[in-house]
Amino acid sequence: ASVPHSRGSVDETGGQSTPLISTSGELPFLLKVLAAAEPLSLQAHPSLEQAKNGYARENRLGIPVSNSRRIYRDPFSKPELLCALGPFEAFCGFREPTISVDLLHSIGGGASVLARLLTDHDLDHLLHYIFSGTEEIRILLTDVVEACAQHDSPHAVWVTRLNTRYPNDPAVVASLLLNHVILSAGEALYLDPGNLHAYLSGTGVEVMGSSDNVVRCGLTNKHVDINELLATVIARPLPDPVLRPTPVRRTDTGHLWCYETPHAPFQLSIHQINGTETLRSQTRELILCGVGRTDRLHRGEVCYLGPDEEITLTGKATLFRVDESSNQ
C-alpha cells in the first residue's frame, strides 16, 4: 500500500515521494474533495463520442490545449459522482415539465410566458429560446428576474442571489427548469454526460472520469459556449437525481456501502470502520480517509492499493474507496 503525501505523489520509502502515476499507471478516474463556498458554473460534460469529435476538431483548428477558450482538452467522457460530506446544495438535471410549468406560473410576470412556451413545446425548445440572445429574450429574462424577487420559493430565491452575482446571465433563469437538491451526508448525485448541473454550496467527495472536458453556459467568468452546450445537454427530465448507497457488508468492526454507477469507469464505496479491518483490493483503488483517523491513515490522507493488495487499518473512521469498474 502506498500513501500519497500530496496531489499526484506517493510516499513509499520513508518520506521520499514519487509520482503516483509511476506506481498506479494511468487511472480511469479522478478523486478530489470539493468545497463550494460559492455557486459554480452551470455546465454539462460531453459523451465519449462528442469528446472524441470535439477534441479532433479543436486540434484541427490549432487551438492549444492550454488555451482558456478550449473546451475539449482530451478525447474522454466525464461521468461524475458527488457524495456529500454534509449539507450540499445543487441544481441537477431537468424537473418534470409540468412541475416547472406550475412554478413558472406561480412566479408570474415573464415567467408565465416561459410556462406557456414549455406547455406548447418542450424543454429543448425552451432552453434554446432562453439562450437565444435576442433583445426580446433579454427583456423577458429581466422581467422574470424581477418577478422572482417577489417570490419565496427556493428556485426564485436562488435566481435573485445568482442575478446579483451574474446580472443579465440567461443561465440564472435557466436554473428554474432544474431539480433543486439539498443532499444530506452520504447522499450523492450521479451525473451522466449531458446532465445540466451547478453546484451551489457545500463540501463533498467527487469522483469522475479522467477528463477535463467541461462545457459551460453561464454562472461563471470562464469561457462559455452556448451552442456547444445546447448540443451537449440532454433535455429530458431526471425525476430523482439523488443516489443513495446500497448496503454490502456489515461486521462488528465495519460497515460497507456502495453507490451503483453502472456506466462509469469507477465505483465508489463507503467503508466505516470501528476497530481493525483488512481492506483488500480487486482492482486499482484509492482510499480517502474522510472522517476520523486510523493508525495508518488520517483524515484527508489517501492510500493507493494495486490489484490484489491489502492494508490493515485500526481506528474509527469513514473511508471513501474508489476502484475501477468492470460494468462499463
pLDDT in tens, 2-36: 444 334 555 554 556 677 777 778 899 999 999 99
Q: Which amino acid is at 143?
A: D
CA distances from 10 to 3, 69, 283 (A): 5, 33, 18
- Determine how many CB atoms are found less than 10 A away from the CB of residue 30: 17
pLDDT at site 1:
44
C-alpha 322/C-alpha 328 separation (Å) is 15
Beta strands 178-183 and 246-250, pairing class: unpaired
Q: How far is CA 229 from CA 53, 124, 235, in A?
A: 15, 12, 11
What pairing do the DSSP bridges indicate for beta strands 285-294 and 17-19?
Answer: unpaired
Give me the pLDDT at residue 6, please. 34
The CA distance from 198 to 41, in Å, is 6
- Hey, is 55 helix, strand or coil? helix
Ranges of the chain with pLDDT below 50: 1-7, 13
Q: What is the distance between the alpha carbons of residues 10 and 4, in angstroms, rounded to a whole number?
A: 4
**Catalytic residue positions, numbered:** 216
Buried b (16+ CB within 10 A) or exposed e, 258-272: bbebeebbbbbbbbb
Question: Domain 29-233: which topology?
Answer: Jelly Rolls (2.60.120)
In this predicted structure, what is the pLDDT of residue 263?
Answer: 85
The pLDDT value recorded for residue 87 is: 98
Taking the alpha carbons at both ends of the chain, their separation in whole angstroms is: 26
Q: CA–CA separation, 158 vs 155, rounded Å?
A: 5
CA distances from 210 to 80, 163, 272 (A): 10, 33, 26
At 325 the pLDDT is 80
Please state, in angstroms and rounded to a whole number, the distance separating the CA atoms of residues 73 and 209: 13
- For residue 12, the SS3 value is coil
Architecture of domain 3-27+245-324 in this structure: Sandwich (2.60)
Q: Are 96 and 238 in contact (CB under 8 A)?
A: no
Please, where in the chain does CATH 2.60.120.10 lie? 3-27+245-324
279 touches 256 (CB < 8 A): no
CA distance 224 to 170: 12
In angstroms, the CA 41 to CA 31 distance is 20
